[in-house]
Structure 1
Amino acid sequence: MKTILKYDGTFEGLLSSIFYAYECKQFSISIEKRKIHEPNFFDDSVAIISDTSKAKRVWKGLSKKTSTQGKMKLYKAFLSEIPNVENLIFYIIRKSLSSTINIETDFSDPKILLLEKIVKKVNREKHRMDAFVRFRLTQDGIYFANVEPDFDVLPLNASHFKNRYADQKWLIYDLKRNYGIYYDLQKVETVVLELSTDLNYRNKTSFYFTPEEIHFQKLWHNYFKSSNIATRKNMKLHIKHIPKRYWKYLSEKNC
């Protein structure tokens, strides 16, 4: 029999779960998101309430054992949403806190090596979002983009877009996770909206976006098409650099 710690799906909730494990000295546990937990007759379950102070204590304690970069890797692994990643993070935090040396690069441990591989995938997706996000100017004067990244990388993209588009109001919305990041010329904040299902329909664009924006999108699409040299087309290489799953959000691919 083992104990299942059910948390709310936030990083703060995960750290609160780890605090609970140490506080109760229960290490034969499994940490699961509350929304995906399936009760059974053989395991006990405990509902963990997110506690900012407890989460900060875990994070601060980890600072004594690992670098800022090492902590960031744990956060990026959490954003991967890979099944059972919570228990991988718990394992590495436990090993870090109990070790007298920094274990970040101990790749002889399969779990630390696995963490490194996950982080690389998340970093790759983050950089692709930096490159492939395409804004459209709405009737409300906000530059809007919708995305569906493989991993929950918007928190990692926020600083890039804030620095790059500091003089514009913009909103990047993750349709897959139903939340977005909005910049109001001063700060970036998380927002949750009810977006219309016809937002990306061509015959509805004039309702949401300015005429100038629609015209610009067509010009960009035509430029991309005319500058493409058919005899030098290498579709295999093109797909390698711009996977097809991103095409539906690229103005140069759609008009």
Structure 2
Amino acid sequence: DVAHLFVPSDDIVCRVVYNIIKKNSPSVKLSLYDDANGTYVGSFYRKLSRLGGVFYWLFLDVNYRKKVRSIYCYNPQLIDGLDQNVETKKIAFHDEVKVLMKSALNDQVDKYLGKKVVFLDQGIRDNNSLNQCLRLLEKYFSKDEVLVKLHPRIAGNINYNFDTIRDEIPFEIASSSLDFTNAIAITCYSGACVMSILMFGDSSAKAVFLQRVCANDLKASKLVAFIKRVQNYYGQDKIFSPSSIDEFEMFLKENKRIEGVKELSSR
């Protein structure tokens, strides 16, 4: 018997799991938990195409989203397009969890120390704008000042000229265990950068999103709107979204003398 099911989205796997559980536990409650950008940009309540809508209606329970009555997240004020009947609950981050996270990071700590830039790879292929951004990174930072965190499940076709790491440890765990105040986290779309800000605030890295440079689709426009909400809430100095490659280069030039990742000071 299951009393309460927590899911990150309304994708097929979540729907199938919920429907199977509901057969044996008809009164099961359904809640959404914070899953980075998707929680805040309205993708959970996304509008489906006509064909997609028919498919969901026939096979995946069209009322699934209506069954979600609560969302647990780090900053409910940043959610857009929320059903007024859905309750939001703020997740409190406790120091005990940080201890657990640091134990998970374990021997990977040294790979982050001293790095000025952490680039979160997402397996993006054949993107000329992204390649130009990476060449600019090489221009302003040396090989040992940048760490590329390769995507744990997706392999792209980019051969990075920096130190790389591939593991299944989320970037948020590194953010909880080390001081990223004087470091930069760069990505195209990855929610890990902004989640670190939502979860850890001052000790998190300055986040740089390249989606305005590397993509122009609807998903990117929703992400841009979300980033603006984050900027308004946490301040312009915590998150940066360049509108051009030249603007990105100016940012790198201004920040090339940052100190890099350090150990958290003991309290």
Do they fold alike, i.e. is TM over 0.5?
A: no
Larger Rg: 1
- Larger RCO (CA within 8 A; separation ≥ 6): 2
Q: Normalization by structure 1: what TM-score?
A: 0.28
